[in-house]
Structure 1
Amino acid sequence: MKKLFYAVLMSAFVFSCGSKEATKTVENANKKIGVVISTLNNPFFVTLKEGIEEKAKEYNYDLVVIDSQNDSAKELSSVEDLLVQKVDLILINPTDSDAVTSSIKRINEANVPVITLDRGANGGKVVAHVASDNVKGGQMAGEFILEKLNSKGKVVELEGISGTTAARERGEGFNKAIEGKLEVVARQTANFDRTKGLEVMENILQSNPEINAVFAHNDEMALGALKAIEATKRNILVVGFDAIDDAVASVKEGKLGATVAQQPKLIGILGVETAKKVLDGKQVEKYIPVDLQLVK
């Protein structure tokens, strides 16, 4: 009789443990992460999304991905949609570091943790920020141009979307590197866009007969600028930022001078890894840097 009692007791214990494990698995599977991407009309952010999806699948998380289409108003409405869907955490790649403050504060009000990717937020409470060291990247680009021009010449800076940390920090690093050595003859925004980069560069070329180099805050603008330059058959060094496939191929062909390589997929992966730590109740670093390198 005692043997039967212990057998029943052990069976109940095993069933109980199994139930706990099953419950734990179900709980993990039910974790839902909202993802707001500034635009999916850019290879860099498509790759970032792929990194997020890969890691989320490994952790068995549900994902809801929304494209802001570079529109801050759509970004805010996307965040509100995610909050209605009761997501457990939000990963956001801001369209604009100032404008995203409204979205961050709305997320804060709902007591949902939020992590920024690639671009930071200038307001609200963010658990962590995962990004490349953009200042260092801009400095690397500036130093490369200095080397190629023997520290003499006239340069153009094509800026990204005004208000983004990426544009501000890349420009900061670049200008720090060339200060007092190279003359910036034009500095204009081209909104991180290839077509806009082409148009802006065409205008700059018309009004500046002497240009030795161009630094663009991203490869899309760099490739647009390169196309404009090729049409004039002028010999101008162009350096981009992000190392998207088109840019790397252009460097290998000897057209684009160089590009600063970010790792967008790794940014996405680290974003989800950080999210898991937060959801598991662990402490995380406020800033999680991702390594850069110069492709030349």
Structure 2
Amino acid sequence: MIGIIGIAMIFVMVFGGYLAAGGKMGIILKAMPFELMMIGGAGVGAFMISNDLAGIKHTLKDLGKVFKGPKWKPDDYRDLLCLLFGLIRIARANPVEVEQHIEDPENSSVFGKYPRILADKEAVNLICDTMRSASMNYDDPHQVEEVLEKRIEANQHHALHSSHALQTLADGLPALGIVAAVLGIIKTMGSIDQPPEILGKMIGGALVGTFLGVFLAYGLVGPFAAKVKAVTEEDAHFHQLIREVLVANLHNHAAAICIEVGRQNTPSHIRPGFSELEEALKSVKQEAA
């Protein structure tokens, strides 16, 4: 919702200010379809050249983040901590029993309680792979932490592709606007014998290209890139929380301490409250009993 409000404010403030200052939309509306065809078409073409099909699909899909915001909500972080708590307790009480959960999470009664987490294949694989490694005596906390860090960084690098692609497009739009404006000036110079009032409208139409290039770059595409990056980076905290808890588990801290380590390393605006989490963990303990 806030994304839609922001877009509406941009258009209202820019064009409303122009009209309030005495500007007329006639020249802009007449020139805009042709300028948009040149600038937008060239921008889309450049975008297609610089990205493969998978990157294009990924970017188009990620545009929804501008309006939807982060995928993971505070309740999801609480559920993740409860899931990890349950798995750690089982692993310490009965290492054999936990194998059925990490080898087949789709049919696991523990994972099944949290369908949103189960639907995220990378989060599930991160949990299962790490716990499986621990059961195979690959349990050096520092080595595991390094492996998890590299894996999360690789995932993050891939996830940020959309933001980089949109920012590259935004950086090129002002130059494409200048190209459109120059073409308009060339057209005007071909009609230099026309009276001043005709030439004035033609020059004004040419300058619409420069305006659109800058407006689209800094008013829309650039902010879209920044929002996609911000949302992607915030969602990355979900996987980082998994790393913090499972590494703490390898240090043989008490299960409750492992969960608290994860909670404390979660950003404050999405961090579950201590009392809230304590109540949720009590439910996990009661169900296990």
State TM-score, norm by structure 2. 0.28
Q: Which has the higher strand share?
A: 1
Larger radius of gyration: 2
Higher relative contact order structure (alpha carbons within 8 Å, sequence separation ≥ 6) = 2
Q: Which has the higher helix share?
A: 2
State TM-score, norm by structure 1. 0.27
